[in-house]
Amino acid sequence: MAIDERVIVETVTGMGLAGNEEGLIPAFGLYLTNHYADFYNRISFGVLGALVRENPELTEDAVALLTEAAHVCAFHTFGGIMSSVEWDALVQPMIESREDWVRGMMAVVNAFGWGRFRVAELLPDERLVVELRDSYESSGYLESYPRTDGPRCFLANGGMAGLMNLVYQGDITRRPALTEELYREVFSDPRSFRSRERLCAAKGDSHCEFVVERMQG
């Protein structure tokens, strides 16, 4: 059985994910949050703007910080999901290859409503190209700021690198403990994956597109 995105989306959206009396949403081995994308965007782009206003030379550092935050987020969020009971029950039985871990995760991401992600190309252990439509980062950016000359989907971009690192560098299929040590080991490896947002709706492209490759081939 190959990854059936429709089944995954229908199952996840039918789970009735909502806060319990503690105000938490424990699901997929995580505490999920349900909050306004605009709120996240305000903080993310606010950090970028504040650093750039301080000194335009800090632009690269600001992007590096936001990307690092995305790497940490992907490591724990995607890693947690791929180690969860829900994954075992719903996605694992559909998995036939290591690449299906990437496709399965993409289906779960779509079910959560983080945008419409589509794997355009996946070369095992080498390269991932993902198209993203309705990215809340780019649409949120354009609501508040003029069109830019650079990409703005920092969380999605770092997330895609994180996914490839989990599958091909950290071997999430063996269910390692998602410790800080493992994070450092995986992401500081000179052969680990990094993502580049080649197209972004915030700079006028029709959609966003991420190309994920190893830093050193």
User: Given candidates 20, 55, 188, 216, which one binds another protein under the rule CB under 8 A?
Assistant: 20
User: Given candidates 62, 200, 211, 212, which one binds Zn ion under the rule CB under 5 A?
Assistant: 200
Decide: is 138 part of the binding site for Zn ion (CB under 5 A).
yes
Stretch that binds another protein, among 10-18, 61-69, 99-107, 201-209 (CB under 8 A): 10-18
Residues of span 149-188 touching Zn ion by CB under 5 A: 153
> Which residues on neighbouring strands pair with residue 195, listed in sequence order?
212
First-to-final CA distance of the chain: 32
User: Given candidates 56, 93, 146, 217, which one binds another protein under the rule CB under 8 A?
Assistant: 93
User: Given candidates 74, 90, 156, 212, which one binds another protein under the rule CB under 8 A?
Assistant: 90
Nearer to another protein, 77 or 195 (CB): 77
User: Given candidates 34, 97, 144, 179, which one binds another protein under the rule CB under 8 A?
Assistant: 179
Nearer to another protein, 19 or 150 (CB): 19
What does the H/E/C string look like for the chain?
CCCCHHHHHHHHHCCCCCCCCCCCEEECCEEECCCCHHHHHHHHHHHHHHHHHHCHHHHHHHHHHHHHHHHHHHHHHHHHHHCCHHHHHHCHHHCCCHHHHHHHHHHHHHHHCCCEEEEEEEECCCEEEEEEECCHHHHHHHHHCCCCCCCCCHHHHHHHHHHHHHHHHCCHHHCCCCCHHHHHHHHCCCCCEEEEEEECHHHCCCCEEEEEEECCC
> Which residues on neighbouring strands pair with residue 26, listed in sequence order?
31
Decide: is 27 part of the binding site for another protein (CB under 8 A).
yes
Decide: is 84 part of the binding site for another protein (CB under 8 A).
yes
Nearer to another protein, 29 or 151 (CB): 29
Q: How many residues does the chain have?
A: 217
- Tell me the closest approach of the beta carbon of residue 88 to another protein, in angstroms: 4
| Binding region for another protein (CB under 8 A) | 11, 14-16, 20-22, 26-27, 29, 84-86, 88-90, 92-93, 177-180
| Binding region for Zn ion (CB under 5 A) | 135, 138, 153, 200, 208
